[in-house]
Each structure stands twice: as C-alpha cells, then as structure tokens.
Amino acid sequence: MSKKEQDLQEVVEQAIAQQKVPHVKIKGIDPHSIDIARLTKPSKETRQERWGKGLTALAILLIGILIVSIIGFVGSHGLATFFTDKVNIFHFLFSTDWNPSAGPNHVGAAAMIVTSFAVTLLAALIATPFAIAVALFMTEYESGKKANLLQSVMELLVGIPSVVYGFLGLTVVVPAVRTVFGGTGFGILTATLILFVMVLPTITSLTVDAFKAVPKELRKSSAALGATQWQTIYHVVLRAARARIMTAIIFGMARAFGEALAVQMAIGNAVLMPYNLVSPAATLTSQLTSQMGNTVMGTLPNNALWSLALLLLIMSLVFNFLVHLIGKKS
C-alpha cells in the first residue's frame, strides 16, 4: 500500500469512528471494507472526459494531417516548375508570355494574376453594398418571417452548381454586356457580374452575423439619444461591425478567387493582359481547369499548371492572413 493510500485509509477510518449514527449496509458495502483501489481509480466521469477529449483531439489531428498533405502535395508539384524545369520565378510572376509547351522561357503568369485580382476585387466591390443592404434589411428593418425567407432563398444560391451560373452567364450576361458595352461580351466585366451573384450569399450571411453580434444596448442607447434609425446604423452598428464586415468581404473574395467553371465560360480564356473590362482574358483557375486534361503529367506544361494551383493556395493564405490582421486590430 502506498503512502497516499495509507493516508486515505486513515482518513476514512477516522471519519467512520467519529460518526454517531449506526451504519446501514448497502449492497454488501460495509463502511469498514473500503475499496481503496476503487476510490483512487479515476472516476467514470474522468474516463469519459479523457475519452471525449481524446476523440475530439483525434479529429483535429486528422484535419491537420489533411491540410499538411494537401499543402505539401500542391507545393511539391508546383515548385517542380522552378527547381526541375528551372523556370525563373520572377519571370513567372511578371512576364505575360504564357506558352509552357514552348519551353521554360515562356512561363509567365502575370496576365492571369492581374486578371484574377481584377475580377475578385471588382466582384467584391459590387457585392459589398448589396450584401450590407440585405444584411441591414434582415437585422435592422425586418426580422422574423420575411428575413427568414430571404435568407433561405439566398442559401439556395449556394447550392446552384457553378456550371449553371456559367451557362446563365453565357446566355444572359454575355449578350447583355456585348450590347451595352461593345466588344465580344467576354471579359472581366462579365466574369465579375457572375461572381458578384456567386459571392453575394457568402458575404451577406457573414455580414448578418456581424450585425447580430452588435449588442442591442448600443442601438437602444443611440435611439435614446434621439438618433434616427439611419444615424444609429451609420454611427453605431456599422462602426461596431466594421471588422467583421471586412472579414466577410475577404471570405467572399477568397471564394471568387478560387471559382473556376463559371468564370472559365464567361471570361473568354485568352491569356492576354486585359486592356479593358470587356477584352477577353484568363484567370488562374480558368486556365487551370481548361488545360489540366490536355497536359502530360510530369512535363513542364503540367508542372506550370500546378504552379498556378500553388499560387492560388498562397493567395488563400494571404487572404486568411488579412482576415486575422483585421481581427486583431479591432
């Protein structure tokens, strides 16, 4: 018997000795027959606790492994362009000459990088006022049934496949842009308009959360000071929710940046530096999707495409970093 157990035995015996009421035997457990082993064993609760914690930690570990593997995988393929095929990384980032099958001196992704950014920024720029308006409508102006219905319909938008958006774009947006702005109708503008609709639900639902997180007391005190609803919204709600709205926008942008099939159909897929909003261009994802099947694995054209994928991955890292920076600032 260890020292600890001896102490425990002593304490129990003392307690029994001091008791004045006669003891009742319950199910053969006599107060004098103390099962020290049972008393010092972790309780059922502790075991449950360990089991639960272990199980959930395992899930986290699994996700961690998944992420490390995907980053390692894309990284190793994407970097092969620079290490195996000896493509100059500055050339890759700043040249607009994209024809990887012609050799390592023709792997310039600048046109696609610029287009991807242009499309993403513009889509977010258009979507933000709409998302804020809808979110305000749902939280400040109307609540209950109407807001719920609008929210459900918005969620439907998320479930529509990007292919369908692509074809809606091809049959509706492209001719509209062509008639109004001239050109072929394919280009950054068309892609932006399609992406606007696609990122709208993301930005809206996160903005709704942002507004809901603003304490009711703030609104009430603003109203008590005699502010109109708009003054309350502008000076109190929007201010208080600013950081989370930024987060919402960045999440929307991340989605726009990675969208492939819909953009591919609407942007025209010409690897050219865009000189205006209605000239055909290509984004990183559109090039990736349309070329992947036509290249032979392990060759330069294929590796170059993986480099584009790596670039996309790095961009999501940057977007996330921005989110955290904003989160910290507030």
Nearer to another protein, 9 or 295 (CB): 295
Candidates 126, 168, 322, 326: give the one binding another protein (CB under 8 A): 168
| 162 near another protein, judged by CB under 8 A | yes
Smallest distance from another protein to CB 314, Å: 10
Alpha-carbon gap, residue 74 to 309, rounded angstroms: 7
Q: Which residues pair with 26 in a beta bridge?
A: 29
| 137 near another protein, judged by CB under 8 A | yes
| 211 near another protein, judged by CB under 8 A | no
Span of 11-19, 27-35, 81-89, 227-235 interacting with another protein by CB under 8 A:
227-235
Candidates 64, 89, 225, 276: give the one binding another protein (CB under 8 A): 64
Between CA 202 and CA 210, with CA 260 as vertex, the angle to 5 degrees is 10
Alpha-carbon gap, residue 267 to 174, rounded angstroms: 9
| 76 near another protein, judged by CB under 8 A | no
User: Could you tell me the CA-to-CA distances from 119 to 99, 122, 185, 199 in Å, in that order?
Assistant: 22, 5, 15, 12
| 190 near another protein, judged by CB under 8 A | no
Alpha-carbon gap, residue 181 to 185, rounded angstroms: 8
Candidates 114, 178, 240, 242: give the one binding another protein (CB under 8 A): 178
User: Could you tell me the CA-to-CA distances from 103 to 82, 98, 99, 112, 282 in Å, in that order?
Assistant: 13, 10, 8, 18, 20
Span of 12-20, 30-38, 81-89, 153-161 interacting with another protein by CB under 8 A:
153-161
| 235 near another protein, judged by CB under 8 A | no
For 172, the token pair is 């509706």
For 103, the token pair is 């050799």
Nearer to another protein, 10 or 155 (CB): 155
| 192 near another protein, judged by CB under 8 A | no
| 143 near another protein, judged by CB under 8 A | no
Q: Which of residues 77-96 bind another protein (CB under 8 A)?
A: none
Candidates 99, 105, 143, 330: give the one binding another protein (CB under 8 A): 99
Alpha-carbon gap, residue 179 to 185, rounded angstroms: 8
Q: Which of residues 20-39 bind another protein (CB under 8 A)?
A: none
| 274 near another protein, judged by CB under 8 A | no
Span of 1-9, 10-18, 32-40, 258-266 interacting with another protein by CB under 8 A:
258-266
DSSP letters spanning 65-98: HHHHHHHHHHHHHHHHHHHTS---HHHHHH---B
| 224 near another protein, judged by CB under 8 A | no
Alpha-carbon gap, residue 135 to 23, rounded angstroms: 67
Residue 300: CB partners within 8 Å, gap ≥ 6?
81, 85, 87, 100, 101, 103, 104, 107
Smallest distance from another protein to CB 87, Å: 16
Smallest distance from another protein to CB 35, Å: 20
**Number of other CB atoms surrounding residue 247 within 10 Å:** 22
| 157 near another protein, judged by CB under 8 A | yes
